[in-house]
Amino acid sequence: MTFVTKLTLQSGDRAVLERVVSEIATAVERKGAEMKGPHPSPPETLRVPQHKRTTGGETFDSWSYTVYTRTIEIVGHDDVARGVMDRSLPEGVHLGVEVEQVRPLGSS
């Protein structure tokens, strides 16, 4: 059975995110693992209302920020995926991990 590790990286700083994704891709290639991606998702702009008082009512202009997302899939090579997850990431970069077990066709 093969495991597919899906890494989702998010950040509000596009340049830092691209650097981290590039470093991960280089490390995975160096180890000879199969990698799919990075796949970019459309940037998401979030808006947060800011109230002038804790009781509500009058507000300042909403605070808005953009979140950039990249997805990478590492097929097999659990040790390589584990090494990527153990890396220290810059502040502001969030890493989400999903692991899926894939069975070959015809197996039960």
The answer to the question of residue 68 being in a domain is yes
Tally the domains of the chain: 1
Tell me the torsion sign for CA atoms 13, 15, 21, 23: negative
Domain limits at 36? 2-102
pLDDT value for 47: 93
User: Per-residue confidence of the chain (108 residues) as pLDDT tens digits?
Assistant: 688 999 999 999 999 999 999 999 999 999 888 999 999 999 999 998 888 887 777 888 888 999 999 999 998 888 888 888 888 999 999 999 999 887 776 665
The answer to the question of residue 108 being in a domain is no
* Spatial contact of 3 and 97, defined as CB atoms under 8 Å apart: no
Tokens of 49: 């209302």
The answer to the question of residue 48 being in a domain is yes
The answer to the question of residue 30 being in a domain is yes
Q: What is the CATH number of the domain that holds 20?
A: 3.30.70.600
pLDDT value for 97: 92
The answer to the question of residue 107 being in a domain is no
The answer to the question of residue 24 being in a domain is yes
Please name the residues in contact with 108: beta carbons below 8 A apart, sequence gap of 6 or more.
Answer: none
The answer to the question of residue 78 being in a domain is yes
pLDDT value for 106: 64
